[in-house]
Amino acid sequence: MRRVLIASALALVAACSPKAKSAADDQYAGLGDEILAWHKQIQASDKACLSKSDGKGCQGFEVGCKGARELTAIDKAKGVTAKLVVAMSWEGWDPVRSEYRTQSGFSEFTKVDGGWMRNPTGPVNLSTCASA
d(C-alpha 13, C-alpha 19), whole Å: 12
Phi, psi of 48 (to 5 degrees): -65, -35
What pLDDT was estimated at residue 25? Answer: 61
Which is it for the CA torsion 31, 33, 37, 40, positive or negative? positive
77-90 per-position pLDDT tens digit: 999 999 999 999 99
Query: Which of 63-95 are b and which e, b meaning 16 or more Cβ less than 10 Å from the residue's Cβ?
Result: ebbebebeeeeebeeeebebbbbbbbebbbbee
Residue 45 predicted with pLDDT over 70: yes
Task: Show me where the domains of the chain are located.
Answer: 25-120
d(C-alpha 121, C-alpha 41), whole Å: 16
- pTM, rounded to two decimals: 0.76
* Amino acid in the structure at residue 70: E
